[in-house]
A and B are shown apart, each in its own frame.
Chain A
Amino acid sequence: MSSTKYILGVFDDPDEMMHGIDKLQKNSVPIYDVYTPMPIHGIEAKLNVKDSRLGYAAFMFGCLGGSIMFTMVYYMLVHDWPINIGGKNFFAIPDFVPVTFEWTILWTSFGMTFTFFFATHLFPGRTPRVMDLRATDDKFVIAIDAKGNIPHDDITNLLKEAGATEVKHNTRKYVSYE
């Protein structure tokens, strides 16, 4: 039993990497993930990546922030400690709009940020999960889960044929935890 956990095909050129994806898919080799230093058009469709649901999270956080702030202002300025401002009604809705608006945006942005951190396991101070360090620099990396994908040499050959400059057989999933 091989100790290889992940096979990484490292490419210099994004077009060759896209070609590599085609080749693997044609040979029914499931791709775990692809790491690139910059966004590549059309890669989501090719890998069947589902649309991000971050927008829905953002909408919910916005609704939550707006409701909390409106309730809070209502409690403070209408219920608990009514203040006469310029002879207006205590419940003067237009005055409440700016702060409700601001909290909607604040909660949307914070909510989106924390949702993103949660989904990607990124937190300040935590070591990020990286499978190949140069994928954030100048290399294009296709990662294949080695479990169940045998023989490994065939995958290595496929990647090499597609133009991979290097094929790594990693025994650990993430190289960043040193």
Chain B
Amino acid sequence: MKTHNNFDARYEFVGKAKTYSLIAIVIGLVAIAGGFAFGQTERTFANLLIMAYYFAAVCMCGIFFCAVQYAAQAGWSASMIRIPQAFGKVLPWAAGILILVVFAGLSITHHITNEEGKEVVAPYLYKIWGAAGVTDPHSENYNAVIAGKSGYMNKVFFLIRLVVFLGSYCIFGRLLAKYSEMEDDLGGMFYYKKSFNMSCLFLVIFGFTTPIYAFDTIMSLEAEWFSTMFGWYNFAAMWVSGLSVITLTLLRLKKIGYFEWVTEDHIHSLTKFIFGFSIFWTYVWFAQFLLIYYANLPEETVYFFKRWEPEFKPWFWINIVVNFLTPLLVLMSRDSKRVYGTVQVMCIILIIGHWLDYFMMVMPGTTGPTSSWLTEIGPIEIGTLIGFAGLFTFLAMTALSKAKSLAPKKHPFLQESLHLHI
């Protein structure tokens, strides 16, 4: 083990990474513009929602990761904590985009024929509870179920909740990053203790609000259906995909010569997290499915009925195979968690796998089945995914390059992290 590391080296965001991320952003913009131009407005909105939600989830995962490490007083992660911190710093951007997409999707309306065959004026997103007249007893579009939920599910309160939740996460992300940078200048335990307190507070707030956030943003696309498991299911998806992005970023940066103090022991720890929470994701996914399957109540099974249409059924199964069987079989043994190549491939598979997971949450309830299962994922889907991947890379790496050092030099657990051995 090297005993002297140069922690003052700053990350420079230049070269191929920057070029490719900018190209990806352009591809994304073209795909989105193309989607709007060729009459695929609802599909493009649904894709924007998927990716804005995914983007925000990964950034939130960065904050959550930092908070868990501080609250648990974990030492092993101290030397790579700058990466999740950088993700957290990008959350304001992600939150802004998500709020913009949701607001535009709710405000811009079109004429559609709803499931009961009536002509309604509905927004592009949240068409069930956002449609005109659903809460008005005199309207022919009156929907008693939605009207009963309207005290909670109305546009103003909905947007207020979204802004408040995302805003509070942004503040905590900013504070944790700021404390860590000030700790670099001053040292001592003062900022560590502050970070600990803030992390505990954040975890309480986050734990209670993420299920509601998931109910609002995704579950209300199919507003007549509900599942209390949905919040934890989304939390699991966020945590697995975020951890995969953190690990992939770390591995890529290590490959080009940064983070030379990060060893296979750190990667092993991160991969254990990915493995464990992939199983947790499956557990929640299956728990939600089994309860609905077992009870067999029509108002609940409609959710899976839509996902079992021939246009979605292959993706439904691919989702569970990719996100459960691959990590289970590939990452189970200790050795495979310590091989950088294997871990990197698994991270990419899981990042795409959880995109498919979000796709399966959003698409059947918005655009619904189109023509065949293969064309369900087309240029708009792939283009938007690439675009947001580029945007995320660009913003997160820019945030990382602004950090004064790549390791928190005066973090009280830094030495413990550098000597991690498992």
Contact = CB atoms under 8 A, between A and B. Distances in A.
A103 to B, nearest CB: 16
Contact of A55 (B294, B296, B334): B334
A125 interface: no
B296 A94 contact: no
Nearest to A51: B334
Nearest to B421: A41
A88 B296 CA distance: 9
A95 B294 contact: yes
B238 to A, nearest CB: 24
Interface string B281-305: 0000010011001111000000000
B293 A94 contact: yes
A148 interface: no
B290 A97 contact: yes
Interface string A72-112: 00000000000000111000001101100000000000000
B296 A98 contact: no
B289 A94 contact: yes
A150 B171 CA distance: 70
B371 interface: no
A55 B289 CA distance: 31
A94 B289 CA distance: 9
B299 to A, nearest CB: 16
Contact of A94 (B290, B332, B333, B419): B290
A61 B296 CA distance: 34
B300 to A, nearest CB: 13
Interface string B304-337: 0000000000000000000000000000111000
Interface residues of A, number: 12
Nearest to B419: A41
Nearest to A88: B296
A59 interface: yes
B336 to A, nearest CB: 12
Contact of A98 (B290, B295, B421): B290
Interface string A45-59: 000000100010001
Contacts of B295: 86
Contacts of A94: 286, 289-290, 293-294
B333 A97 contact: no
Contact of A97 (B286, B332, B419, B421): B286
A42 B293 CA distance: 51
B290 to A, nearest CB: 5
Interface in B259-297: 286, 289-290, 293-296
Contacts of A51: 334
Nearest to A52: B334
Contacts of B332: 59
Interface string B208-223: 0000000000000000
A55 B293 contact: no
A86 B289 contact: no
Given A55-B334, A97-B290, A86 B296 contact: yes
A163 B287 CA distance: 59
20 contacts: A41-B419, A41-B421, A51-B334, A55-B333, A55-B334, A59-B332, A86-B294, A86-B295, A86-B296, A87-B296, A88-B296, A94-B286, A94-B289, A94-B290, A94-B293, A94-B294, A95-B290, A95-B294, A97-B286, A98-B290
Interface of B: 286, 289-290, 293-296, 332-334, 419, 421
Interface of A: 41-42, 51, 55, 59, 86-88, 94-95, 97-98
Given A41-B421, A86-B296, A88-B296, 9 more contacts: A41-B419, A55-B333, A55-B334, A59-B332, A86-B295, A94-B290, A94-B293, A94-B294, A95-B290
